[in-house]
């Protein structure tokens, strides 16, 4: 690609395919992985969209800045296909940056239906969404949109927390939404897996739990094998709370918990899931104000890029 002619791909792209090489990693629009910024969903396989909400955090806020930080970390990894995959996800998938979901934080009661509508528009356009959070609560309205289209989903959930605490109330925050998602039939807990948990919940519902100790003792390949066994051919929604990673690898988050996964372990699990029936994905809880050297944003960016590789392993979805 000739830089003077085509730079910057976020504005000038004439194709939605192909890795964009040769652009300076320190400059240009903050589109995800140099993808074209557009709301045109024609021919699109995956629309990347930010949901900059952090009103549902229970501890430190700041994940509203997550989408921007993750995007800013992507030029450094977008010059070649993600290692160690043997294909380029952008050869197989048409991926765009759809921009962020805008909502009025002053009308909190309207936020859930608004986010659901935002995601429904993407699904109605024939694409899947890759959501950049935002606190983890954003997965709840996203799942409402997905379940309306696909029926109950198997959740593959990476987290230090179960996010199924309920206190038997109707309240919703970033630690209760999966309780409600199961109760409302958005998620089938018995065919879902939670990975990396290391906080106490005496009422964990019916989820299959591979806690942080299980991951350390058995390793990523065994985690991936167990996940594939549990989800089978079901439609899978993949949600990755960045606090699944140990604070050494992801300090920039609202509720860090020691003793978590390394970035290598998490990435290896993702790489071991090829062929699952993935229909949507998110990476949430990146809060750059608490980050050090942008390592958390980079982890979020690399995970998101590998989610695209994983999504592309389903031949039905490839170009």
**Site of interaction with Mn ion (CB under 5 A):** 136, 159-161, 163, 241, 243
Specify the residue, 7 or 214, whose C-beta has the smaller distance to Mn ion.
214
For the bound state, the minimum distance from the C-beta of residue 242 to Mn ion, rounded and expressed in Å, comes to 8
Contacts with 278 (C-beta within 8 Å, 6 or more apart), sequence order: 236, 237, 238, 307, 310, 311, 314
For the bound state, the minimum distance from the C-beta of residue 318 to Mn ion, rounded and expressed in Å, comes to 30
Contacts with 60 (C-beta within 8 Å, 6 or more apart), sequence order: 254, 255, 287, 290
Give CA–CA dist 129/123, Å, rounded: 7
Q: Long-range CB contacts (< 8 A, 24+ apart) of 35-39?
A: 35/9, 35/10, 35/95, 35/96, 35/97, 36/9, 36/10, 36/11, 36/96, 36/97, 37/10, 37/11, 37/96, 37/97, 37/99, 38/96, 38/97, 38/98, 39/98, 39/99
Specify the residue, 159 or 268, whose C-beta has the smaller distance to Mn ion.
159
DSSP 44-62: -SEEEEEE---TT-SS---
DSSP 248-267: TT---SSS--SS-B-HHHHH
The pairing of strands 208-210 and 236-241 is unpaired
For the bound state, the minimum distance from the C-beta of residue 59 to Mn ion, rounded and expressed in Å, comes to 10
For the bound state, the minimum distance from the C-beta of residue 68 to Mn ion, rounded and expressed in Å, comes to 20
DSSP 8-state symbol, 175: T
Specify the residue, 243 or 268, whose C-beta has the smaller distance to Mn ion.
243
Specify the residue, 33 or 115, whose C-beta has the smaller distance to Mn ion.
115
What region does 56 belong to: left with phi over 0, alpha with psi -120 to 50, or beta?
A: alpha
For the bound state, the minimum distance from the C-beta of residue 33 to Mn ion, rounded and expressed in Å, comes to 24
Largest pairwise CA distance in the chain: 60
Specify the residue, 45 or 246, whose C-beta has the smaller distance to Mn ion.
246
For the bound state, the minimum distance from the C-beta of residue 310 to Mn ion, rounded and expressed in Å, comes to 20
For the bound state, the minimum distance from the C-beta of residue 197 to Mn ion, rounded and expressed in Å, comes to 9
Specify the residue, 10 or 210, whose C-beta has the smaller distance to Mn ion.
210
| C-beta atoms surrounding 247 within 10 Å | 18
Specify the residue, 191 or 255, whose C-beta has the smaller distance to Mn ion.
255
Phi, psi of 100 (to 5 degrees): -95, 160
Specify the residue, 199 or 314, whose C-beta has the smaller distance to Mn ion.
199
For the bound state, the minimum distance from the C-beta of residue 220 to Mn ion, rounded and expressed in Å, comes to 19
């Amino acid at each position: 690609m000739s830089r003077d002619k085509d730079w910057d791909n976020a504005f000038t792209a004439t194709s939605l395919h192909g890795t964009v090489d040769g652009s300076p990693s320190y400059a240009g629009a903050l589109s995800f992985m140099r993808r074209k910024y557009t709301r045109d969903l024609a021919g699109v396989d995956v629309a990347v969209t930010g949901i900059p909400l952090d009103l549902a955090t229970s501890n430190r806020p700041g994940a509203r800045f997550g989408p921007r930080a993750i995007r800013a970390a992507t030029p450094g990894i977008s010059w070649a296909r993600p290692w160690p995959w043997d294909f380029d996800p952008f050869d197989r998938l048409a991926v765009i940056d759809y921009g962020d979901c805008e909502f009025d934080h002053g009308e909190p009661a309207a936020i859930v239906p608004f986010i659901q509508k935002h995601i429904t528009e993407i699904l109605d356009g024939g694409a899947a969404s890759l959501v950049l959070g935002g606190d983890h609560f954003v997965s709840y309205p996203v799942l409402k949109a997905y379940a309306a289209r696909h029926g109950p989903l198997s959740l593959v959930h990476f987290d230090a927390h179960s996010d199924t605490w309920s206190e038997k109330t109707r309240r919703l925050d970033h630690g209760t939404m999966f309780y409600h998602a199961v109760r409302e039939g958005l998620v089938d807990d018995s065919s879902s897996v939670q990975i990396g948990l290391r906080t106490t919940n005496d009422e964990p519902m019916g989820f299959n739990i591979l806690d942080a100790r299980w991951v350390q003792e058995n390793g990523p390949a065994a985690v991936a094998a167990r996940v594939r066994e549990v989800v089978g051919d079901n439609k899978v929604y993949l949600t990755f709370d960045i606090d699944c990673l140990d604070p050494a690898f992801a300090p920039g988050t609202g509720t860090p918990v020691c003793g978590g996964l390394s970035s290598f372990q998490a990435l290896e699990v993702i790489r071991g899931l090829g062929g699952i029936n993935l229909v949507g994905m998110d990476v949430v809880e990146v809060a750059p104000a608490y980050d050090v050297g942008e390592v958390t944003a980079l982890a979020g960016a690399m995970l998101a890029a590998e989610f695209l590789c994983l999504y592309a392993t389903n031949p039905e979805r490839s170009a």
